[in-house]
Structure 1
Amino acid sequence: MRRFSLWLRDKPIVADSVLAALMFALEIIGANQAANTVVYLQIGVLLPLPLVLRRVYPTAMAFVLLGLSFVTSVVGYLTHDDADHLALIGLGIMLYTVVAYVGRREGLLFALGLVIDTVLSHVAIDKPQGRDVLVTVMVYALCWAIAEFVGARRAYDAEVAARLAVADYDIARSAHEAVAAERTRIARELHDVVAHSVSVIIVQADGARYALRNDPDVAEQALNTIAGTGREALRELRRTVALLRTEHAPGQLPQHGTAGIANMVEMMRGTGLAVELELTGELDAIAPEVSLGVHRIVQESLTNTLRHAGPHPKAWVRVRREPGAVTVEITDSGGVPVRAPQRITGSGLGLVGMRERTAVLGGTLETGRARDGGWRVRARIPVVTQPDDESVSVPDESDGES
C-alpha cells in the first residue's frame, strides 16, 4: 500500500484524474434534479476537467474552474435552473491547491474571485438565506487552513531534504578530502625515504664506477656506503609501511632526535658532501612528529645539495631549540651543477613535501637563494613544553598556510 501511495505521489495527473472522475460521478447524481439534464451534463463534463492538471498548472487551472463557475451561474440564470453542480466542490480543492503549492498571494487573488462568484451565484440568482453563504465561507476557510498546514509541512520536508543533501555532499567531500590527504601523506613519506637513499646510492655508484680501476679503496668505500644506505632505506621503508597500515597515534611515530640527525649527516659525509652540523638546545625532548619533521627537512635539504650544489658541495646544518619553537636552517655552497651524465634530476616534489610537512605542524618554511649564491632552507616549527618536560606541536592557524 505504501508503494502504491508513493507511486501516486510521483504521478499527480493519475491521482487527480481519479478525483475528477469522482466529481463527474457527483454531477451524474445531481442531474436528476436539473430542469435541463442535457445542459447540466454538458457543464458537468467540463467542471471536473481542470482538476486533472491542478498540481501541474495550479494557478491557471484554478482560474479556469472559477471561470466555468461564472459560466454555470450565468447559464443557470438564463435557463432558470437552480440545480446545484456538485462538482463545484472543486473550487475549495483549487483554493487549497493554490495556497499549498503556489503561495498566499495567488491564494488571496483566487479567494477574491471566489467571493465574487459566491455573491453572483447565491445572492443575485438564488437569493438564499445567510446560512448558506456562511457555510460556503466556512468551507473555503477550512480549505485555506488545511493548505497552510500542508504547505508548512511540505516546506519543512523540503528543508530537511535540502539539509540531508548538503550533509551527504559534505560527507562525500570529507571522505574524498581524507583519501586525498592520506595519499599525499603516503607519497610524502615514501618520497622522503626513497628519494634520499636512491640519490645517495646513485652518486656513490657513479663514483665507484670511475674509481674502480684507478683507486679500488675508494670504490670499496663507495660500495660500503651504498650497502649501508640501502639497508637503512629498507628499514625506513618497512617502518613507514608499518605505520601507514595502522591508525597510529603521534606517540608511535619514530623519534629521530639528535642521534638520528647526526647519523644522517655522517652518512652524507661518506658520500663526499662536506657537512657542518650545529645542534642547540634540548632537541631530544620534542614531540615525535616534530622530531620526524625536522629529520625529513634536513634529509631532503642535504639530498638536494648533493644533487644540485656542484662537484664539491658543502652544507651547514643548524637546528636550534628555542623557547617556543624549533628552528631548522640548512644552507649550501651552491656552485655549478655537475655534467649531464652524472646529474641527478629530481621530481620537483621535495620542496612541496617540506612545505606540506611544515604546514601540517603549524610552522613556516622559507626557501631561496642566499646572498652568497648558495641555497637556503629555513623552517620554524612551534612547540610547547609540558610540565613533565615533554613537548608537543602546537599548530598555528595563522601560519599554517603554505
Structure 2
Amino acid sequence: MRRFSLWLRDNPIFADSVLAVMLLLLDLAVARDSTNLPAFLVFSVLIPLPIALRRIYPRAMAVTFMALSFCASTIGYIVGDPTVHGALLGHGIMLYTLVAYVGRRAGLWYVLALVADTAYGMALVSGFKAGDGAFLSVFFALCWALGEFTGARRAYDAEVAARLAVSDSDRERRAHDAVSAERTRIARELHDVVAHAVSVMIVQADGARFALRTDPDTTEQALVTIAGTGREALRELRRTVALLRTEHAPDEVPQHGTAGLAAVVQLMRDAGLAVELELSGELDGVEPEISLGTHRIVQEALTNTLRHAGAHPKAWVRVRRHPDHIEVEVTDSGGVPVRPEDRIQGSGLGLAGMRERMAVLGGSLEAGRRPDGAWRVYARIPLSTPDPE
C-alpha cells in the first residue's frame, strides 16, 4: 500500500485523471435536465480535462478551466440551456491547486476571476438562489483552507529536505576533510622518513668515499649504516603505502571555483537561508588549493549562519580577487539564535578548521560579531601558497 502511495505521488497525472473522470460522471448525472444535450455533452467532456494536468501545469490549467467555464455559460445562454454543469465544482479543485502549489497570490487572482465568472453566470441564468451562493462560498473557502494546509506542509517538507541535504553535504565534506587530513599526515610522515633516511645515506656515502683508501674499517661501517638505513626506510615506506592502500579516495571531486560557490549558495537557499552572492575578478584560474580554501570558507561560514543566525537568517557573500590575494567576506543578519533542539548539530570545530586551513595557505582569518549584532567572517588568501619546509 505504501509503495502504491509513493507511486501515486510520483505520477500525479494518474490520480488527477481519475478525479477528472469523476467530474465527468457528475456532469453526466445532470445531463438529463439539459435542453440541448449535444452542446451540453461537449462541455461535459471538455471541462474536466484541465483537472488531469492541474499539478503539472497549474497556472495554464487554471486559466483553461476558467475559460471553459465562461464559454459553457455563454453557449448555454445562446442555445437556451440553463442547466449548470456539475463539473464546474472543479473550480474548487483548481483554487486548491493554485493555493497549495503556486501561492496565495495566484489563488487570490483566481478568486477574483471566479467571482466575475459567477456573477456572469448569475446574469445569464435565472433562478439562481441565495442558498446556492452560500454553499459555493463555504465550498470555496474550504478549498482555500485545504490548499493553505497542503501548501504549508509541502513548504515544510521541502525545507526539511533541503536542511537534510545541507547536513548530508556538511557530513560528507567533513568526512572528505578528515580523509584529506589523514593523507596529509601520512604524506608528512613519508616525507620525514624518506628525507631522514636519504640524508643519513648521503652523509655516510660521502664519508665512505673519503675513507675508502685510508680507513677500510670506517668505510665498511659506513656501508653497513647505509644498508641498515635503507632497509629501515624501505620498511617504513611499505608500512606507509599499506596505510594509503587501506583508504579510498572519494569517487567525486568537489566542485570549486565560481560554479562551486554558486552551488553552495543555492544549496543554502533551498534550506531557507537568504543569501546574496557577489563575485568579482577571475576566480576560476587560481590554484586548486586556493580555490578549495575559498570554497570551504564560504561553505563553513554559511553552514554556521544557518545553524546560529536565527529563525529567518540572511547572509551576504563577497569574494573578490586582487592582484596578489583573494578576499572572502561572509556576513549574516545576526538575530536571536534558534532553540538548541532546532539547530543542525555540528562538531563545534568550524572556526578552528577555517583557521587551520588559512594557516596552511599562508592566509589570515578574522571572525567575530560586529557592533550591529551581525556575524562576520573575513579571510585573506594569498594567490601563491607557501612552500613546505
Tell me: CA distance 1:242–1:33, structure 2 relative to 1, closer, same or farther (3 Å): closer
Counterpart contact for 1:122–1:133, Cα < 8 Å: no
Give 1:223 deviation, angstroms. 3.3
5 Å-filtered alignment, 1:220-239, equals 220-223=220-223, 225-226=225-226, 229=229
Q: CA RMSD in A?
A: 3.5
Q: Structure 1 CA distance, aligned partners of 2:237 and 2:204?
A: 20
Could you tell me which residue of structure 1 aligns to residue 182 of structure 2?
182
Could you tell me which residue of structure 2 aligns to residue 152 of structure 1?
152
Q: Structure 2 CA distance, aligned partners of 1:230 and 1:45?
A: 89
- Taking only the aligned residue pairs, the percentage that are identical comes to 61
5 Å-filtered alignment, 1:238-249, equals none
Q: Kindly provide the amino acid, as one letter, of the partner of residue 117 in structure 2.
A: D
Give 1:91 deviation, angstroms. 0.7
Q: Structure 2 CA distance, aligned partners of 1:111 and 1:61?
A: 15
Give 1:76 deviation, angstroms. 2.2
Counterpart contact for 1:118–1:133, Cα < 8 Å: no
Consecutive unaligned residues of structure 2, counting only runs of 5 or more, are 245-354, 363-379
Give 1:147 deviation, angstroms. 0.5
Consecutive unaligned residues of structure 1, counting only runs of 5 or more, are 245-358, 367-397
Q: Structure 2 CA distance, aligned partners of 1:363 and 1:61?
A: 58
TM-score (norm 2): 0.58
5 Å-filtered alignment, 1:37-48, equals 37-48=37-48
Give 1:11 deviation, angstroms. 1.5
Tell me: CA distance 1:71–1:242, structure 2 relative to 1, closer, same or farther (3 Å): closer
Give 1:229 deviation, angstroms. 4.7
TM-score (norm 1): 0.57
Larger gyration radius, structure 1 or structure 2: 1
State whether structure 2 residue 219 is matched by structure 1 residue 213. no
State whether structure 2 residue 33 is matched by structure 1 residue 66. no
Give 1:233 deviation, angstroms. 5.8
Counterpart contact for 1:190–1:237, Cα < 8 Å: yes
Could you tell me which residue of structure 2 aligns to residue 170 of structure 1?
170
- What do residues 244-285 of structure 1 show as CA deviations (whole Å, max 9, x unaligned)? 9xxxxxxxxxxxxxxxxxxxxxxxxxxxxxxxxxxxxxxxxx
- What do residues 213-238 of structure 1 show as CA deviations (whole Å, max 9, x unaligned)? 34324413423543675687689889
Q: Structure 1 CA distance, aligned partners of 2:2 and 2:89?
A: 28
Could you tell me which residue of structure 1 aligns to residue 143 of structure 2?
143
Q: Structure 2 CA distance, aligned partners of 1:3 and 1:80?
A: 50
5 Å-filtered alignment, 1:178-327, equals 178-223=178-223, 225-226=225-226, 229=229
Q: Kindly provide the amino acid, as one letter, of the partner of residue 131 in structure 2.
A: R
- What do residues 34-85 of structure 1 show as CA deviations (whole Å, max 9, x unaligned)? 1121111111011011112111111111111111111111122223322221
Could you tell me which residue of structure 1 aligns to residue 132 of structure 2?
132
Q: Structure 1 CA distance, aligned partners of 2:88 and 2:241?
A: 77
Tell me: CA distance 1:65–1:238, structure 2 relative to 1, closer, same or farther (3 Å): closer
Tell me: CA distance 1:216–1:152, structure 2 relative to 1, closer, same or farther (3 Å): same
* Number of corresponding residues: 256
Could you tell me which residue of structure 2 aligns to residue 13 of structure 1?
13
Tell me: CA distance 1:243–1:40, structure 2 relative to 1, closer, same or farther (3 Å): closer
